[in-house]
A and B are shown apart, each in its own frame.
Chain A
Amino acid sequence: MPDNINPFIYGRREFETDTPIYVDDTSEGFLGFFDWISGQQFLFEGIRGSGKSSILRSMEWDVAWKISPIQVKGSKAIEEFFNKQPKHFGIRYRVEEMDSRYWDWWKNRVGKECAQIYFGTYFEYLLVDLFLNALIDLMHRYPEYFTKPDAEYALLDVILREGFPDPKSRPRLAESSLRALRNIIWDQHSGIKQAVYRGVSGVAISEEYVPLSPGSLVRCFGKNLVKNYDVFADSKVFPMLDDCNHLYSWQAEVLNAAISRAEAPVYYKITSVIDLYKSQQTTDGRPLNENELKAIRISGEDEAEWHYLKRFSRVAQGVCQTRIRKHYSDEYANRFDFRRVLGKFDIETLLEHTVRESENPKAIGLLTRYKGYISANDKNIKSLTSAWLYENKIREEKTPSFANKDMQEKLLARLDSTYWRKWRYSAAIAICNELKLSFPYYGWQTVIHLSCGSIREMLNIMSEMWNVSDTTIDNFVNKRGIDYRIQRKAVKNAALNHLRGVSKLPICSSKTSLKSETNIEKQAQPEYYFDTVCNRFGQLFKILQSYPSIGVTAETASIKYDCTKLDKSLLDDIDLAIMSGAMMRKEFDNSSLALGLRPILAPIYDISFRRPFFYYETLSETELHKLFTCSDTEVNHLISEIVKRRLGRLDKGKHKSGQLPLLFRKRGHK
C-alpha cells in the first residue's frame, strides 16, 4: 500500500461526507456526546465547518444501526456505546434555503396565520415520513427484532387517526402496512409543498389538507413506536433539523412551538449558524426557556482560551487519528500525536530564528542590540520583543505609577502570564511587519487558533502540512515539531485555499445603495468579490497591528459598527461573509456588532491569528460600506483616515485599552 497518500483529504465530494466522525465525550462544561444524546433538546450553534451537521449525523438511525458507512469514533466509552443495541432513533433533515423562500412568498399571499398552520402541517408529515422510511428499512434488515404480529398495524392505526381525525376523510390504505402508510404521508407533504409552489389560496389548501398542530404527529409516532416495538422500548426519538438558519422567523416560531410541546420520548435537536436562528419564540408569542431548548455554541467563542485550546486539541487529535486509521492502520494512528507533531508555539525562539535568517540589516541590528541588553544584564529586557517594545516606547513609564515602591512591585506581580504573552505576541507581529518578515505561524496552538473551532479548517491545514512536508506516513507520525519553515508555508497555503474558496462570492451591495440611484449608474459601478473585501480588511488590520498604531491597542483585529444604520444589501453581504466562512461577527448588544476576518486568513496578511474580538476599531456605517463597495483608491484613502484618527487618540492619550501599563524599572535601578 502506498505510504504517501494524504490522509487528511478525500477529494471527491461524495466521499468527503462519508468519513468517520470523531466525537468528544468529555463534558467539562461544554457538553459532550453523552449529553447530546440525552433527553435534552438542543440548538447547536457554530460557524461553518465547526461540526454541527456531524453532531446530528452521529445520532442518526443508520449510523446507530451500522447501516451507514459512517462510523463514530471517540473514547472507549463512545465505541462501547456504538457496539451496543441502539437506544436512540434519530432522523435528520436539512432545511433548504430555496424551500423557505417559496414558503415565505406563499406567506405573503395567504397571510402569516395560514402559512404557519400549513408549514407546521407539512413539517409534521415530512418528519414522520423520514421516521417511517427509517423504520421500514430496519424492519427489512433486522426482521428478528420486529416479530410482534400486531405492532405494525397498531402504529399505523394511531398515526392515521392522529393525521386524519375525521374517519370520513381518512384515506384507505392499499394494504395494512407502514409502507402503504408512508405513501399516504408522502402524498400529504409533497402535495402541500406543490400547492405552496403553485401559490394556491388559503381556502383551496384548507379544503384539501387537514391542519395538524405543531409536533402532534411526531409525538404520536414517538410514543407509539416505543410502546409497540420492544426493540425501541427505552429509546429516545430524535427529530433533527440541520441548518435552521434558513428558516424565516415565522417558520422558526412553528418549529419552536413543536419543540415546546415535545414530550418523552421525543427530543428535538437542531443546528444553526451562530446568531442566525431567527427566533426563539413560539407561535403563542412566548420565548422558549433553556429547559425546552438549550443553545450550545460548539465553536467556543466565549470559552477561556486555555480551556478552548485543551478541548479542541483533543478533538483535533481524535479527528486526525481517525483519518489516518481510515487510510493507513491503527498502528500509525496510535503513533500520531497532534501536539508532538506540530510542536509548541514559542514566539521568542521563533522570532529570533526568523529575524536571524532574514539577513535584513534592520533585523540584524535589532538582534544585536537585544544581545547587548542581555549582556548588560538589563532587567527590563528579557526577550527580543521586550527589547523592541522598550526601544519604541510602546510601553514605558518614565515615572512609576505608584510612588510606593511596594505597591508597584505588587502590581507587577499581579500581571498574569496571559497579559505578558499577549504583548510579546503583539510585538512580534509588529516587528515582522516593520521588518517585512513573514510571521512564524507554528505549533499546535497556532493551528487550533487558526482553525477557530472549525474541524474542516483544521483538516485543511493538516492537509497542507502533509503536502508541504512531502514525506511518508511513517516519518510524518514520528515528527517532533515539523520544521517551522514548512509549517509557515503550509499555513499560508491553507489560508490561500480558504481565500480562493470565497474569492468568487460576489458582493451584492452597490456603492450607491446608500442613496437612490438609477439602474444605469448602479451597473456602471465596479463590482467586487469577497476576496477583495477580505484583502481590504487584512490590509487595515495589518496597519493597526503595526507600529505606531499598536500603541493605541494591541491586536486590533475587528471593526465595530452600528448594524441598525446599515442598508439591507450590506447586511446581506455581511451575513453571506459569515455564512461562507470569510468573516466572524460578535454581538455586543442589539445594535453594536464587531466584524473581523476568520483567523485562517491571518497568514495571508501576517496579522494576529487569534480570535479577532479582543480589540476593535469603531467605524461609521459609511466607512464600513466603503470598505465593501468602493474602489481601491478610495479604500486606501479611507484606511489612511482611520489610522490618522486612531493615532490622534494615541497622541492625546485618550486610548482606553483597559490595559495596565507595562512598567519598567529605570536603567540602573535594582
Chain B
Amino acid sequence: MEQWELIEEYKHQGIELKALRSNNAPIGESFDLALFWSTFESRGLVSSNLLKEKSCTDSVIVFFEEEKETPLRSKNDKILIEQVTRCTKNPVTIINNISIKDIEESLRKIFSKIPQSSFRRNTNWFIDISGASTPFFLSTVAHLLKAFPSPSLVLFNPTGSYKDGTSYGFRFTSGFDRNIWIPSLWGQQDPSLPWTYVFLLGFNGDRSYEVLYRCEPKKVKALIGNPGYQKSYVAAAIKKNDTFLRQCGLWSDDGKHDLIMADASNPIDSWKKLQEIVIEERNRTNICFVPLGPKAHALGSGLCAITDGKSAVLYSIPRTYIVKDVPRGEYIWKYEITK
C-alpha cells in the first residue's frame, strides 16, 4: 500500500485526531519542525527515509546519553543524521547529552534549543515517536497543544516486529528507577477523592506490578492491545502481566478476565475507551493513566488527559532500557492532530 489510508478520525473538545495507515507511503507534507530521537531500533530510521527532501524547515535530533556507546546506537545515529539532513532545509540542530531519566531537566534543555521560529501560533511539527521514550513525546504533544492556539502535529509510529516477542524473557526495560507524573500531564486532582489507576499494559509485567505495589490505588482498570501488532502478542501481554492481574483481581484461575481491549496501533480506539472511564469515574475518583504498552495507547491516554484536564499520566522510569534492534512491522502509522 503506497498511499495513506484513513482508518479513523475523531474529534473531542476541540482536538481532532486522524489515524492513517500505510505499508510504505511517503510522507508528503511540509513541516516547520521535525523532531527525531536517537534509537537502537531500526524502525526509528523509517520516517526520515520517507520524508520528502527538504520538506522540513528545521529539524532537531535528540541524542540520549544512555547507551550511546553501543554498536546499535553508533550505527543508527550516523544513518539518522544523514537522513534527517537530507529532508531538512536548514542545518540540523543536534542536541547531545540528554538524560533519558532526568525527564524534567531534559525537556527544558530540548525546548530551549529548538529554533524559536518553530514556535508559532499555528506551528506545524512532525514528531517521530518510535525512538522517543513515552514521557518525552507525550509531554511535547501536551505542551504544544496547551501552549499554542492552533498547532498542527503529525506523529509517526511504525509498528514493530519483535523477535521472540511472545517469550517470557522478552522485555524492553529492566529494573525500576522511580515513578513520575509526565510533565504537562500532571492533572488536577481532588485530594478528597481516591484514585483509579488505568494501566495500559505492555510486555513488561514487572513494571505494572511495581506501580501497583508502590501506589496502591483504590481502583484498578487495565487496557490491553487487541488487535495487537501480531495476533500472538495479545495472549503474550496477558501472560506477562499475570502477577499484576491476579493481584488486582482482574484475572482469575478460571481464565476470566476484566480487561478493556483497544487497538494497539490506533490511538483513537484507546482514547475513546479511556474517555468512557473518565465519564464513569467523574467526581468519584481521581484518574491516573499508566502507559506501559504500545505508543498508540500512550498517545490515546495523553489526549484523554489533555481534553479531560483533570486526569494525570504517570510514567514508571525503568533503570535501564534494553539494547536491542526492533525492525518495523507490516504497517506504519501517521497520527494527525489539529486543534
Using CB atoms and an 8 Å cutoff, list the residues of chain A in contact with chain B.
10-17, 91, 93, 96-98, 101-102, 105, 126, 129-130, 133-134, 186, 189-190, 193-194, 197, 199, 500-501, 503-508, 518-520, 522-523, 527, 529, 580
Residue B29 is within 8 A (CB to CB) of chain A in the complex: no
Residues of B within 8 A of A193 (CB): 186
Of the listed stretches B18-26, B64-72, B129-137, B326-334, chain A binds: B64-72
Residues of B within 8 A of A500 (CB): 243
Q: How far is the CA of A527 from the CA of B69 in the complex (A)?
A: 20
- Complex contact B209–A13 (CB within 8 A): no
Most buried by A among B213, B250, B322: B213
Residues of A within 8 A of B66 (CB): 519
Q: How far is the CA of A462 from the CA of B210 in the complex (A)?
A: 26
Q: How far is the CA of A199 from the CA of B319 in the complex (A)?
A: 24
Look across to chain A and name the residue whose beta carbon is closest to the beta carbon of B243: A504
Q: How far is the CA of A501 from the CA of B213 in the complex (A)?
A: 9
CB < 8 Å neighbour of A11 from B209, B217, B249: B249
Q: How far is the CA of A505 from the CA of B319 in the complex (A)?
A: 12
Apart from A102-B181, A126-B191, A520-B67, 6 more pairs, CB < 8 Å: A10-B249, A11-B252, A97-B214, A129-B191, A197-B186, A523-B320
Residues of A within 8 A of B104 (CB): 105, 199
Residue B115 is within 8 A (CB to CB) of chain A in the complex: no
Residue B205 is within 8 A (CB to CB) of chain A in the complex: yes
Residues of A within 8 A of B191 (CB): 93, 126, 129-130, 189
CB < 8 Å neighbour of A194 from B70, B108, B186, B213: B186
- Complex contact A519–B176 (CB within 8 A): no
Q: How far is the CA of A199 from the CA of B70 in the complex (A)?
A: 34
Residues of A within 8 A of B69 (CB): 518-520
Using CB atoms and an 8 Å cutoff, list the residues of chain B in contact with chain A.
66-67, 69-70, 104, 108, 174-181, 183, 186, 188, 190-192, 205-206, 209-210, 213-215, 217-220, 243-244, 247-250, 252, 314, 319-320, 322-323
Most buried by B among A15, A189, A190, A504: A504
- Complex contact A98–B181 (CB within 8 A): yes
CB < 8 Å neighbour of A98 from B175, B180, B192, B323: B180
Q: How far is the CA of A186 from the CA of B210 in the complex (A)?
A: 31
- Complex contact A527–B175 (CB within 8 A): yes
CB distance from A61 to the nearest CB of B (A): 11
CB distance from B177 to the nearest CB of A (A): 7
- Complex contact A101–B178 (CB within 8 A): yes
Q: How far is the CA of A105 from the CA of B180 in the complex (A)?
A: 11
CB < 8 Å neighbour of A12 from B186, B209, B249: B249
A-B contact pairs, 11 of them (CB 8 A): A12-B250, A14-B218, A97-B215, A98-B180, A101-B178, A197-B181, A501-B213, A504-B244, A508-B319, A518-B69, A522-B320
- Complex contact B319–A13 (CB within 8 A): no
Residues of B within 8 A of A13 (CB): 217-220, 248-249
- Complex contact B206–A506 (CB within 8 A): yes
Q: How far is the CA of A13 from the CA of B213 in the complex (A)?
A: 12
Residues of A within 8 A of B247 (CB): 501
Given known A13-B220, A14-B218, A101-B178, contact A580–B320 (CB-CB < 8 A): no
CB < 8 Å neighbour of A506 from B70, B175, B180, B252: B175
CB distance from B55 to the nearest CB of A (A): 33
- Complex contact A520–B209 (CB within 8 A): no
Look across to chain B and name the residue whose beta carbon is closest to the beta carbon of A17: B218
- Complex contact B319–A506 (CB within 8 A): yes
Look across to chain B and name the residue whose beta carbon is closest to the beta carbon of A132: B192
Residues of A within 8 A of B323 (CB): 523
Look across to chain B and name the residue whose beta carbon is closest to the beta carbon of A96: B215
- Complex contact B176–A505 (CB within 8 A): yes
Residues of A within 8 A of B314 (CB): 98
Residues of A within 8 A of B320 (CB): 522-523
Residues of A within 8 A of B319 (CB): 506, 508
- Complex contact A519–B213 (CB within 8 A): no
Q: How far is the CA of A16 from the CA of B320 in the complex (A)?
A: 34
Residues of A within 8 A of B322 (CB): 523
Residues of B within 8 A of A10 (CB): 249
CB distance from A507 to the nearest CB of B (A): 7
- Complex contact B70–A520 (CB within 8 A): yes
Q: List the 6 closest A-B pairs by CB distance, nearest first.
A: A504-B206, A12-B249, A133-B192, A14-B219, A11-B249, A504-B209
Residues of B within 8 A of A507 (CB): 175
Look across to chain B and name the residue whose beta carbon is closest to the beta carbon of A579: B214
Look across to chain B and name the residue whose beta carbon is closest to the beta carbon of A12: B249
Look across to chain B and name the residue whose beta carbon is closest to the beta carbon of A502: B213
Most buried by B among A15, A17, A134: A17
- Complex contact A508–B181 (CB within 8 A): no
CB distance from B187 to the nearest CB of A (A): 10
Residues of A within 8 A of B188 (CB): 190, 194
Look across to chain A and name the residue whose beta carbon is closest to the beta carbon of B196: A14
CB < 8 Å neighbour of B174 from A14, A194, A506: A506
Q: How far is the CA of A12 from the CA of B249 in the complex (A)?
A: 4
- Complex contact B175–A508 (CB within 8 A): yes
Q: How far is the CA of A13 from the CA of B209 in the complex (A)?
A: 14
Q: How far is the CA of A518 from the CA of B210 in the complex (A)?
A: 27
Look across to chain A and name the residue whose beta carbon is closest to the beta carbon of B252: A11
CB distance from A513 to the nearest CB of B (A): 11
- Complex contact B210–A505 (CB within 8 A): yes
Given known A13-B219, A199-B104, contact A504–B205 (CB-CB < 8 A): yes
Residues of A within 8 A of B177 (CB): 508
CB distance from A356 to the nearest CB of B (A): 35
- Complex contact A523–B220 (CB within 8 A): no
CB distance from B296 to the nearest CB of A (A): 25
Q: How far is the CA of A93 from the CA of B217 in the complex (A)?
A: 13
CB distance from A271 to the nearest CB of B (A): 13
CB distance from A523 to the nearest CB of B (A): 6
- Complex contact B213–A505 (CB within 8 A): yes
CB distance from B145 to the nearest CB of A (A): 16
Given known A93-B191, A519-B67, contact A505–B209 (CB-CB < 8 A): yes
Look across to chain A and name the residue whose beta carbon is closest to the beta carbon of B206: A504
